[in-house]
Structure 1
Amino acid sequence: MTAVWSRIVRSVRRYPVTAVVFVLVLLTSVGGLVARVVARTATLDAVPLSPFRVFAVTTGVVALVLTLVGVVVLVGASERLMGGRRTVLAFVVTTVVGTGLGALTALVDQDGRQVGSLLLGRATSFDPWTALVGTIVTASAFAGPLWRRRIRVNAVAVVAALLLYAGHASDLYAALATAAGWLLGDLLRRGPARLGWTRSSHRETRVLLGTVVLVSAVGPVIALVSRARVGLLAPLAAVVGTGPVTPVHGCRADSASGECLRGLLAYRATDPWTLVLAVAPLLVLLVAGLGLFRGSRFAVWLAVVVDVVLAVAAAVTYGLLPAGAAALHGAENRFVVTVSVIASVVVPLATALVLVLLRRSFTVLPARRRVVTFAVVVLVALVVVTTVVLVTAASTRETVADPLRLVVAALGPLSPVVFWDRLASLDPALRFVLGAAGPVLWLVVAGAAVRPTGAVEPDADADGLRESRLRARTLLEAAGGDTFGWMTTWQGNAYWFSDDGRAGVAFRRNGRVAVTVGGPFGWPDARDAAMVDFARWCDDNGWTAVFYGIGTEAAGTLTAQGWETLPVAEDADLDPRTWTTSGKKKQDVRTAVNKADREGITALWSSWQDLPPATVRQIEAISEEWVSERELPEMGFTLGGIDEMRDPAVRTLVALDPEGTVLAVTSWLPSHRAGRVVGWTLDVMRRTNAAPNGVMEFLVASAAQRMRDDGVERLSLSAAPLAQSAEGAPAAEGVQDLLDLVGGVLEPVYGFRSLLRFKAKFGPELHPLVLAYPDPVALPAIGVAVVRAYLPDLSLRQAVALVRGRS
């Protein structure tokens, strides 16, 4: 008990503003409840708690608990990011701006029931979440690129969903506080202004778009259960929520009245069964959103289809109600209703458009069998549902004149405009089948989409090469490979294996050029023959084989057959068993190690799976910050990232300060021989902007010491792509000029040549790596293929801009 109390006291001292807000929320909420009981008032408006009403929670015990948790998490994080004084300022300013500007809408609502009531409802109570959201958005300006973007996107998505679908006054206050916090944070943060949207990694793009899709699925549910649904997207929720089971009075397929539109906007799901039927199409969006988190391309197209269907459904529903806007209340509301209906069509279409434009960030393709299974299940369900509807219609006493309209009604969201004018005369059994058919079909679609989207179980064979990749991995572990050996196991590579299975080649094909990932891997005595056989296999397929990043000794097999080579990089390695920090050339390394020892910086060697969760989150944030500072997409091919670090065979080496804060991280790829690890190759290098100088030197020196203790034979600092220490390398019909140009263009962005100079501090041995090619005529295509291997997502606009900058 004493230990717990001590921790509470330390937390209060560390976060005093959070503690004060927590106490105020608790006391005012309890006090308000007591005052209401004593005064027997129905609302907080009659209780004299001002100006403390902004802290009071009046909607129940669960809401109070959630608000208190929000105070601890959001205000606590804000106080940690920007300090106590700025937190108080943000809390006050965003509350005043949010509630103040929100209150001005009452001036628009001049008669108490017109435009303002449509947009905001009649709720006037203050909400603590206004201040909480405004404060954390303000603090996001002081976070790194990863968490700044996540905080803002999630805050805007949630606030926008509440405002657009529910539209209560408290939702407007929170939206205004969010905007105020965004601006205030940028004003309070010192440093250069951050204009525009910083680049994000593919992983982060998936997280952000997945969040948006999930919120778009939850928004209509919020509206359907809300007591007062008056947001701009309320018509979209009505399209999803109503149907033949729950007809709206006054709506017919050929004409409508203001009563129909008012009924649509006022519709509310009042029982669990109706709610289940209403949200069935949204479950498909939920599955798609979860698939987006996993990078599923199938999930992209699934979400696009659902959003387009919902937009068309809204357009069809309200397009057939021409008299609605004019008849609703009066001319004052015509503009509001028009904007609301247009928004219900445009928002889903805009979401679909963004997903299409950013589809390249979703690289996980489902196995063909899963797509076929999905299509078969959906087709069978469609046939069964249609058959049941038609059979039920044929079995009723009254003959249905147009059975095709029944089929349309069975397809889901379009059903609200199909049979409302005939519902009274339809048989009860047919009405039930009509109401259940669409939701059942959508539920089947959602269930069938789980596997191809990877929403629950990620596809272990995303690119259809799982068996080949496992075969390559087994061969590497048993017999080994060259410098790029373990990189051959990465996603994106295709594979070729010799007839006897003793050697293999990993490659990436662009057009008619197959660029290898280093040389062959497998048993040493089978590699030379594998090079010749692979080149012959490529020629039989009409491709040009190019061996990229192989050693000069291995290239000798090809040059003896008339191939030509040109240098592309240099491998830097050392023997950790004999390496020391002594010597004049290693002065910088010794200084970095001594400085780290004095400051209490430690190095943690671990697999990704064994890292503490807090460390993992920090590494992801550092990586995202690194990506956001680049003007180009993430490079691949022989350069790894977070996804490659997750391989259980890969090791991470993390620099931690005494408080456990991650300063820098490196990853190391294993090299095998005869089934055991004999070397490690440096891959990922990331550091925070606040990390002290020399932290990378400290990590590499720590890795060498660790490997010396483990008896490892080789530590490779890897090869800096398109960078060489030797000058004056002979040109080769323009491809060398192209690679030099690309290397020069990428140098300010990725610093490959600076990286080569960094590696020289450790006194390694340098081994030239070359590109071997059979035909000079193919050199232009070879240069393009190599660039595309590193930058598959490079757009023409980015390429032109970078070349212009270089020139």
Structure 2
Amino acid sequence: MSVNNKRKQNSWHVVLADGMQMMRTHMVAVVVVGLIVVVTLGTAIYCAATAHLYPGSLARVSLSRLSRGVPSSMLLSLFTVSHPLRLLIDVPIVAVCLGLAQSRLGVGRTLWIAAISTLGGIACGMGLTAAMYAHSTHWMRIADFGFILGPLIIAAGPIMVVSAFSSLLWRRRIRIIMYAFVATLVLYRGEPSDFSVLAATVIGHVLGYLMCSHNERESIIPGTVFETRRVVAIVSAVMALGPVVSVTSPLSYGPLSTFGLLMSPIRFNYNKLSTCLGADTDLNCFVQFRLQRLALPGGIIVSLLPVIAMLLVSWGLFKGRRIAAILSIIANAATIICAIAYYCIIPLAHAYHGLPGLVMHGAFKSAIASIIIPAVCIAMVVVSWKAFDRKTAQRRIMISMVTIVVSWCVLTLSYILVVLTHAHGFNGVPSFGNVLADVPQRFMPIGFLNGINPDFIPVDTLATVVYEGVGPVFWLITIIMIRWCLLDAGEVDESSRQRASKLVQIDGESMSFMATWQDNHYWFSPSGRSAIAYRVEHGIALSVTGPFGARDEWDEDIKQFVQFCIANSWTPVFYSIHEHQREILVNQGWSSLAVGTEMIVHPRTWQTRGKKWQDVRTAINKAKREGMIDVLTTFDEAPLGIQSQIVEISEQWTEEKALPEMRFTLGGIEELMDNRVRLLYALDAQGVVQAVTSWLPTYRDGVIIGWTLDFMRHRPDSENGVMEFLIARMAERLQEEDAEFMSLSAAPLAGLSVVGSSENQAESDAADSQQTDGTQILAHVLQAVADLIEPAYGFHSLFRFKLKFQPQEEGVYIAYPDAAKLAQIALAVTQSYLPGMKPSDVVAFVKALKPSTH
């Protein structure tokens, strides 16, 4: 046997050993999944051999059978799926849920939790089924013919208990996904098994709450923008798939099951509807006689494309696109209007029994149920509106709108011309009025529009292609335009950000890399060799640090940027600039104020000897004793499990803050994903990430000369000293790389009231003597902002923490030309740091200002 063959054989042995080990450690999941597969396939083989309808009466649970005391069918039904192909869906879900439960809870607790939640879920589910359907036409089918329980009931309770023992991030994700999934099943399908899954989910949630002793704050709305987008996108996607669940389910009883058919190729018989609503009966014949399926494929395609469009919108919400939020609101509002039209307006127009008939036959109830979900989706988007701040260029939006409108006009005109000039291709002689009346039916994905009895139908190939094709072509164009808008880099052209990113890699200062972050606008020098990043708030063009790019242009860039702002009727304000830029502006008559102190460490002279370094030495030694290691990587290169832990740490850290997530010169999760940004994280002996930091590069002549600390997060229960350990290890690494400097960055607004070295203090006193009264007022206002932020973010504590590393202190300043704009400047700074600030936060801010301005 060759060496390669032996190596392959050994590799397969390792894989097989890993698989066997995983099965041994997750026996509950293995046994349950095995039973599901054996019972389902055995039942399918038996039904095929005996020519019985799958899954057969023995696997069906009916109320009449339960009343006779036959529990065996219930047990068999739990391990049977409605169709053998459902094994591809149910088996992975059950395996993951029970596997996680055994890992977190152990075998014993997993078994008794599954037993309690399953039995309780079935009992409560039967009760809910009886309450919902006891007086409906579905009751006889449910009571006598029976239904399949399915294995999802077994998995629902344990995974909800697992959520209680999970971190804040995963606790929320598990619960939101589970409740969204179950709500979709109940509302759009509504089988008794779905009610049982819902009940088992709630029971598991309650058990988890009773079993877990943690007192962590629960929150439905995530703390970070990143996680908010994920949550809203998940709910939007689930609701987008709801109609598909309704259409593809063989038995659909849910309150939105008929609404799901609005997106399906359905024809409605209004003659039967009118007769039904005029009859003296309590049967819900509004549903019973409302539809029959179309035979032509165009309606099927048109029914699916809007679902694809809504999934695309959900993807846009995940990416934080403002246009996706707008489209979501428009689509859900249109859904509400269509539901009202279908359930109320059109039936009233075709029936003679009036509003009482709608109420008696269930149309009004269905309308209310159909309106609730889209209204909830709209509310979620509106509440989370500020999370969707990635704008699309107006030009791209206009092009898309024009393209959609023009395509509709061209397709409509083409359809009319073909029908009128190719009349023999239809079963009648269409008049111009008939063609115009038929045009909406070619494009609308709403089933009731197809329900109007057509005056003509196609009978040859050309007529069929045009008749069935104009709608799908229009929706495909619409989807393409939506995707094009969602792929836009934002209101600021992506090419500008790419240009700025390249200039940052030529030359810059310690914080210049922040210019590459999202939401910045860019001014480029006439030569294109240098630039300034800025953002406009309340008429203030607030720079993000100073110029970057060709260093010999920086002094002139400041002057030209000022002229650029004046030409656009903005007030230029330079924020987070260093002493050199400050001197240039002060010499031109500007006022300035220190807004922070940057901490610079020189790795070449790094050492931890002496009494001043005692805390740092202790942190390093403690980490090493406990098996802590540090890992230097990038976000993309980190394993998926590490990425997930980093997001989890960030989310938990942010949720503990009283104010929204801060931005501007403070990076978050999204800023970590640049491959040029380094991550240094601490990994304990159990493989758990305890803390993480990110480091931004600084370039000179295209070469990295130093790194600046940005992102700092740690677990609430991490050991003291873990952050000192990471920063010290980064200094040691940079010493090996012979880096010029390591910046610990500046705590925003912390320098307003912190006294530095005597030399810096002398400089500060000299600057104070030159300050105008306006500068003193701005200092008071920014101090009030700092006081507002301090309890939540502790920047003064952060400032004192950085002093442990004996850094060189360098001032960071704000410079402005006009004291009359002080209120706008203060608001611009506050809005930049807290873009998610709510009105209640503003009230607190105003209250905080009052003591400082007296």
| TM-score normalised per structure 1 | 0.90
Aligned CA distance change for structure 1 residues 504 and 427 (closer, same or farther; 3 Å): closer
Counterpart mapping for 1:83-102 below 5 A: 83-102=106-125
**Cα 1:157/1:13, change in 2 over 3 Å:** same
Residues 534, 542 of structure 2: 8 Å contact kept: yes
Contact 1:159–1:171 at 8 Å: present in 2 too?
A: yes
Distance 1:505 1:148 in 2: 42
2:166 maps to amino acid: A
Shift of 1:250: 3.0
Asked whether 1:322 is paired with 2:361, we answer no
| Alignment equivalent of 2:364, drawn from 338, 352, 359 | 338
Moved more, 296-305 or 487-496: 296-305
Q: What's the offset of the Cα at 1:499?
A: 3.1
5 Å matches for 1:399-478? 399=431, 401=433, 403-413=435-445, 416-417=448-449, 420=452, 422-423=453-454, 437-454=470-487, 459=488, 461-478=489-506
Deviation, 1:411, is 3.6
Q: CA deviation at 1:346?
A: 3.5
Q: 1:776 corresponds to which residue?
A: 819
Shift of 1:323: 9.3
Secondary structure of the residue aligned to 1:648 is: coil
* Alpha-carbon shift at residue 342 of structure 1 (Å): 1.9
- Pair 652,111 (structure 1): closer, same or farther in 2 beyond 3 Å: closer
Q: Which residue of 2 aligns with 1:669?
A: 696
Matches within 5 A, 1:292-303: 292-303=317-328
| Count of aligned pairs between the two proteins | 797
- Give the aligned partner of residue 741 of structure 1: 784
Other-structure match for 1:250: 271
Which stretch shows the higher mean deviation, 401-410 or 619-628?
401-410
Equivalent-residue separation in structure 2 for 1:121 and 1:221 (angstroms): 27
Of 668-677 and 299-308, more deviation after overlay is shown by 299-308
Can you list the C-alpha shifts for 1:464-504, whole angstroms capped at 9, x where unaligned? 333332333333222x2223211111111122233344443
Q: Tell me the equivalent position of 2:803.
A: 760
CA contact (8 A) 2:582 2:815 kept: yes
Q: SS in structure 2 opposite 1:451?
A: helix
Instruction: Pick closer, same or farther for the CA change 1:251–1:488 going to 2, 3 Å.
Output: farther
Which residue of structure 2 aligns with residue 286 of structure 1? 311
User: How many Å apart are 1:781 and its aligned residue?
Assistant: 1.6
Contact 2:699 2:706 in 1 (8 A): yes
* Counterpart code for 2:615: D
Q: Please report how far the alpha carbon of residue 213 of structure 1 lies from its aligned counterpart in structure 2 after TM superposition.
A: 2.0
Q: Secondary structure at the match of 2:680?
A: strand
Shift of the 433–533 alpha-carbon distance from structure 1 to 2, 3 Å rule, reads closer
CA contact (8 A) 2:394 2:491 kept: no
Q: In the TM superposition, what are the counterparts of 1:661-700 in structure 2 within 5 Å?
A: 661-700=688-727
- 5+ long unaligned stretches in structure 1: none
Quote the Cα distance in structure 1 between the aligned partners of 2:708 and 2:536: 25
Counterpart amino acid of residue 343 in structure 1 = A
The aligned runs of 1:777-796 (5 Å cut-off) are 777-796=820-839
Using the alignment, how far apart are the partners of 2:451 and 2:96 within structure 1? Answer: 50
After superposing the two structures, state which structure 1 stretch, 536-545 or 151-160, moved more: 536-545
Structure 2 unaligned segments of length 5 or more: list them: 1-11, 61-69
Q: 1:538 to 1:64 in 2, by over 3 A?
A: closer
Contact map agreement 2:59 2:77 (CA 8 A) in 1: no
Q: Secondary structure at the match of 2:837?
A: coil
Q: After superposition, give the CA deviation of every residue in 1:362-385 in whole Å (9 maximum; x if it has no partner).
A: 222234453244223312221133
Give the residue type in structure 2 aligned to 1:165. Y
2:238 pairs with 1:215:
yes
Cα distance in 1 for partners of 2:262, 2:634 equals 50
- Which digits, 9 at most, give the CA deviation of each residue in 1:69-119, with x for residues without a partner? 223211112333444444334312221221111112464478685475699
Describe the SS at the equivalent of 2:696. strand
Mapped pair 1:371 → 2:397: yes
Task: State which drifts further: 223-232 or 63-72.
Answer: 63-72
* 8 Å Cα contact 2:258-2:287 kept in structure 1: no
Would you say the 8 A contact 2:29–2:94 is kept in 1? yes
CA separation in 1, counterparts of 2:286 and 2:432?
Answer: 27
CA shift digits 1:277-311 (9 cap, x unpaired): 32232222122122222222222222322222232
Show CA shifts across 1:207-228 (max 9, x none): 2222222222211112112211
1:672 deviation in Å? 1.0
Superimposed CA distance per residue, residues 718-738 of structure 1 (whole angstroms, 9 cap, x where no aligned partner)? 000010221898683421111
Q: How far apart, CA to CA, are the structure 2 residues paired with 1:568 and 1:229?
A: 63
Deviation of the 1:269 alpha carbon: 7.8
Secondary structure at 1:610 match in 2: coil
- Corresponding residue of 2:178: 155
Question: What CA deviation, in whole Å up to 9, does each residue of 1:440-471 have, x standing for no partner?
Answer: 432331233222123xxxx3x32333333233
Is the CA contact (8 Å cut-off) linking 1:91 and 1:132 kept in structure 2? yes
AA matched with 1:784: L
Aligned partner of 1:538 in structure 2 is 565
Matches within 5 A, 1:165-184: 165-184=188-207
Is the CA contact (8 Å cut-off) linking 1:109 and 1:116 kept in structure 2? Answer: no
2:416: which partner in 1? 390
**Structure 1 counterpart SS, 2:408:** helix
User: 1:498 is aligned with what amino acid?
Assistant: S
1:310 and 1:348 in contact (8 A); partners too: yes
Q: Take 2:359 and 2:473, find their aligned partners in 1: how far apart are those partners? A: 37
SS at match of 2:809: strand
The answer to whether structure 1 residue 18 and structure 2 residue 21 are counterparts is no
749, 754, 770: which one pairs with 1:722? 749
Q: Which residue is 2:333 aligned to?
A: 308
State the Cα RMSD in Å. Answer: 3.4
Contact preservation (8 Å) 1:288, 1:303: yes
User: Residue 586 of structure 1: CA displacement?
Assistant: 1.6
Counterparts of 2:447 and 2:465, CA distance in 1 = 13
CA separation in 1, counterparts of 2:132 and 2:650? Answer: 49
- Per-residue CA distance 1:750-790 (angstroms, 9 max, x = gap): 12111111111111111121212222222222111111111
What SS does the aligned partner of 1:608 have?
Answer: coil
8 Å CA contact retained: 1:475, 1:502: yes
Cα deviation for residue 684 of structure 1 reads 0.3
Tell me by how many angstroms 1:706 deviates: 0.8
State how far apart, in whole Å, the 2-side matches of 1:96 and 1:657 are. 41
Q: Separation in 2 of the partners of 1:331 and 1:774? A: 71
1:517 aligns with 2:544: yes
Q: Take 2:418 and 2:278, find their aligned partners in 1: how far apart are those partners?
A: 31
Paired with 1:353 and 1:442, the residues of 2 have a C-alpha distance of: 27
Larger displacement relative to structure 2 (303-312 or 221-230): 303-312
- For residues 230-265 of structure 1, the C-alpha deviation after alignment (integer angstroms, 9 at most, x for no partner) is 21112212222245xx45463689997689733566
Look up the match of 1:131.
Answer: 154
Secondary structure, in 3 states, of the residue corresponding to 1:718? strand
Kindly indicate whether residue 271 of structure 2 is the aligned counterpart of residue 238 of structure 1: no
Relative to structure 1, the CA distance from residue 221 to residue 66 in structure 2 (aligned partners, 3 Å threshold; closer, same or farther) is: closer
**Amino acid in structure 2 at the alignment position of 1:250:** N
| Aligned partners of 1:252 and 1:417 also within 8 Å | no
Percent identity over the alignment is: 32
Greater shift, 782-791 or 136-145, is seen at 136-145
Using the alignment, how far apart are the partners of 1:123 and 1:793 within structure 2?
A: 52
Distance 2:803 2:561 in 1: 35
- Alpha-carbon contact 2:303-2:445 (below 8 Å) kept: no
Which stretch of structure 1 is more off in the superposition, 190-199 or 731-740?
190-199
> Structure 2 CA distance, aligned partners of 1:321 and 1:241?
19
Q: Is the 8 A contact 1:224 1:269 kept in 2?
A: no
